[in-house]
Amino acid sequence: MVRFTLVSKVALKPGVQLAGRYTIESILGEGGMGTVFSATQAFTERKVAIKVLHDFAAKNETAVQRFVQEARVVATLSHPNIAQVLDGGVDPQHGVFIVMERLDGQTLQQWLDEHGAMDLRSVERLLVPVMNAVAVAHDHAVLHRDIKPDNIFLARQSDGTTLPKLLDFGLAKLGTNTLLDRTKSGSLVGTPSYMSPEQTRGEQEIDARSDVWSMGVVLYQSLTCALPFEGTNIPSIVAGVLTAQPVPIEQHRRGLPKALVDIVAHTLEKDRDQRMASMRLLADEVSRAVRNAQDPRAFAATAASSPALTDAISAALAAVNNGAPPAQSVSEHTPKPIGASTIAIPAVVRKQVLAAAKIEEPTAPLPAVKVDDEPVEVPVRKTPLAATALAVVAALVVVAVVAFFAR
């Protein structure tokens, strides 16, 4: 095993070359283990970020090995939402360093401080990709162990979009490799507010469900700008994680979809056997909850599930596939009453197909219905559309949707 214990002898400053191929430009930030510099790679002129180990840490073999581990762990992973390590090494004058892709933007913590709690669309756009990235790490037997808003970076792309990136695998555990995992039983590794109960207790045998807990805390914080276990100091936070129930989300923010609130609660089960089983399942469940929570006013009518409707849809699909006009009639089956099995028709599309079918537009709303205990007025006809008209509308919707996606 190679031992890295070099301590930098010359201070890094703008214009200094590192390892003969990176020119230092400025300091980007300071961390517990090292300083991050902006630099340019000499041959390609690529902008990069370089983390150089602090002098005091370079004197500690365990700290050095963990620093080197970060590069090796990330090198085993390949995912667009994981910040990539490009290079690393030892400079005789400046010590151990890691070269990473240069990211422009802000951390999730900075975003929350600036914008406040996330809307549901941002949860799916910014957090679900990170969940999937962690799931890939878990597939490679890598536990992150320090998931928190400061380690999620929202990188601005050249096209103006935002790409979330998971940072800092310095505390990661790689499988059962004792050379890379220097954590001893009973030691506290991680950030207390985001650590699972088993991680807080210093248990050595933790698994992917510990990261699920941490991501659950991040999800809770992103939705509320608060933490589930508050405390004025580390002991009080640790006591809350180990013994207290999380503060109900409803105390911080009302009106969130119940399914999403339940998911957060499921990630924060103290008994890991009762917790959400995997990060990939968490990503899937959050996506499903967000998509199912779309504004019901976007769906102005439902068509009853019936044999007539099934025949109409089949005829419409057959017409599209065969290039023939859709059938203008439907079978004489008697439709069933509108029940749990319905087809939602988006309001904009419905307006167009109603006009095409020469069916009168709705003019009066029914009494408001409740969605997640909040009243929502849903515009519908005074008198339900006739079964044949509903079937024709549904058939035209199918034709319109299929034609749209076939363009």
What are the structural domain ranges in the chain? 17-101, 105-292, 296-406
The pLDDT of residue 125 is 95
Q: How far is CA 74 from the centre of its chain?
A: 19
Task: Write the DSSP assignment of 319-386 as a string of letters.
Answer: HHHHTPPPPS----PPPPPP-SSEEEEEHHHHHHHHHHTT-PPP-SPPPPEEETTEEE-----SSPPP
The pLDDT of residue 270 is 95
Phi, psi of 278 (to 5 degrees): -155, 160
Region at 20 (left for phi over 0; alpha for psi -120 to 50; beta for the rest): left
- Whether 18 contacts 94, CB under 8 Å: yes
pLDDT in tens, 236-287: 999 999 999 999 999 999 999 999 999 999 999 999 999 999 999 999 999 9
pLDDT in tens, 115-155: 999 999 999 999 999 999 999 999 988 888 889 999 999 99
Q: How far is CA 207 from the centre of its chain?
A: 20
Superfamily, domain 105-292: Transferase(Phosphotransferase) domain 1 (1.10.510.10)
The residues carrying an active-site annotation are: 146
- Tell which wins on pLDDT, 32 or 148: 148
Region at 4 (left for phi over 0; alpha for psi -120 to 50; beta for the rest): beta
The pLDDT of residue 314 is 64
Residue 127's closest CA among 81, 69, 92?
A: 81
State which fold the 17-101 domain adopts.
Answer: Phosphorylase Kinase; domain 1 (3.30.200)
The pLDDT of residue 299 is 45
pLDDT band of 332, cuts 50, 70, 90: very low
Common-topology check for domains 17-101 and 105-292: no
pLDDT band of 191, cuts 50, 70, 90: confident
The pLDDT of residue 351 is 62
pLDDT band of 381, cuts 50, 70, 90: very low
Does pTM top 0.85 for this prediction?
no
Number of other CB atoms surrounding residue 337 within 10 Å = 8
Query: Does the pLDDT at position 59 exceed 80?
Result: no
